[in-house]
Amino acid sequence: MIADVEFIQDAVKIKINETKIDGQNSIFELLIEKKILTKKIEKIIIDFENVIYINSLGIAEFISLMRYYSEKRPKMKYKFINVDKKISKIFKMIELDNIADIESK
Amino acid sequence: MNGSENGLDIIFEEVVKTTNDNRIKLIEDTIKYFNDNSIVVNLDHYELYLILDEAISNAMEHGNKWIVDKHVFLQITRRSDEKVEISVKDEGDGFDPNLVPLNVGENKPMVSRGRGIIIIKKFCEVFWNNMGNEIRLLLSIAG
């Protein structure tokens, strides 16, 4: 499984099981399959504990999720946790910290 | 393979078809060439891997649109004792590099394209050919 999905009250926690996220992981498709896009949630927590590498195509997988909600639920909150420091630097480089709370390891 | 381009030494070149396996192979072969020939640039392994990945992924995704029979051409040229250049060319229609922003821009982190180029620009000097289907990454050799 690419990721484990757990619902916690009004939030969903998505723990990524892959070590490399490079646009080939079909994370958005998994979220459709798990029907999280239809749930009434207010916060999405993505756990990057296992992720050691991400490129821009991988980042685009999460951007797809955020773009989906930006119209349907503009007040949705995002939190990225356990982010490797190098990945955190990349996220900040492309200003993802403007839309998600990024918590490094 | 060695050759010459405008009197400068081409010290490595490789051509691959557009597949995800070849994307990874091209990155790893290039880094192996650097390691085998003791070429140390002012980037750590993670950063070098990332900029190669971004350049090759852009070529395969936006240039060749993942059409398997289209090729990606990678070439390393020694520019001087201090600089080495990596060129990545695709068989796509190219684009206007002037349209690529330096930064994502406030409140625009969700733009659909351009993040790879922004990342590359943070780590090295970048040039394109006129058609926009060849990117050249100029790296400093570590002193």
pLDDT confidence of residue B85: 97
Cβ contact, residue pair A94, B20, below 8 Å: no
Looking at residue B4, what is its pLDDT? 59
**What confidence score (pLDDT) does residue A31 get?**
77
B20 touches A: beta carbon within 8 Å: yes
| Interface membership of A93 toward B (CB under 8 Å) | yes
- Summarised one tens digit per residue, pLDDT across range A59-68 is 988 888 888 8
Question: What pLDDT score does B110 carry?
Answer: 61
Q: Which long-range contacts (CB under 8 A, 24 or more apart) does B35-38 make?
A: B37/B11
Distance from CA of A66 to the nearest CA of B (A): 8
- Name the token pair of B2: 């060695």
| Mean pLDDT value of segment B33-51 | 95
Structure confidence at residue A24 (pLDDT): 81
pTM: 0.89
Residue A67 with chain B: CB contacts under 8 Å: 110, 112
* Class of the CATH-defined domain A3-104: alpha beta
Q: What pLDDT score does B102 carry?
A: 57
Reported confidence tier of residue B7, pLDDT bands at 50, 70, 90: low
Q: Count contacts between A and B (CB, < 8 Å).
A: 54
Q: Does residue A1 register a pLDDT over 90? A: no
Q: Which helix (H) or strand (E) holds A67?
A: helix A56-72
Taken as a whole, chain B contains a residue count of 143
Residue of B nearest to A84 (CA): B46
ipTM: 0.86
Please check the confidence at residue A86 and state whether its pLDDT lies above 60: yes
- Tell me the residue type at B25: K
- pLDDT of residue B83 exceeding 70, the answer is yes
Q: What is the pLDDT of residue A30?
A: 79
Query: For residue B53, which residues of chain A lie inside 8 Å, CB to CB?
Result: 22, 55
Q: Mean pLDDT over all residues of chain B?
A: 89
Q: What 8-state DSSP symbol labels residue B62?
A: I
**B36 CB within 8 Å of a chain A CB:** no
Using alpha carbons, select from A42, A94, A25 the residue that is nearest to residue B114. Answer: A94
Q: Search chain B and give the residue with CA nearest A25.
A: B20
Q: Is B138 on the interface with A (CB under 8 A)?
A: no
pLDDT digits (tens, 9 = 90+) for B66-81: 999 999 999 999 998 8
Characterise A26 by phi-psi region: left (phi > 0), alpha (psi -120 to 50), beta (else).
Answer: left
Give A74 to chain B, closest Cα distance, Å: 13
SS3 A32: helix
Residue B45 pLDDT class (50, 70, 90 cuts): very high
Domains of chain B: 3-140 (3.30.565.10)
Percent of chain B whose pLDDT exceeds 70: 84
Instruction: Tell whether the model's pLDDT for residue B112 goes beyond 80.
Output: no
Model confidence pLDDT, tens digit, residues B16-35: 999 999 999 999 999 999 99
What is the structure's pLDDT at B103?
56
Contact: A55, B20; criterion CB under 8 Å = no
Confidence of residue A27 (pLDDT cuts 50, 70, 90): confident
Nearest residue to B142 (alpha-carbon basis) of B49, B48, B5: B48
Q: What is the CA radius of gyration of chain A?
A: 13
The residue written with tokens 């990524």 in the block is A16
Write out the two tokens for B3.
Answer: 């050759």
Torsion of CA A69, A73, A75, A78, to 10 degrees: -30
Residue A65: the pLDDT is 85
Cβ <8 Å between B46 and A95: no
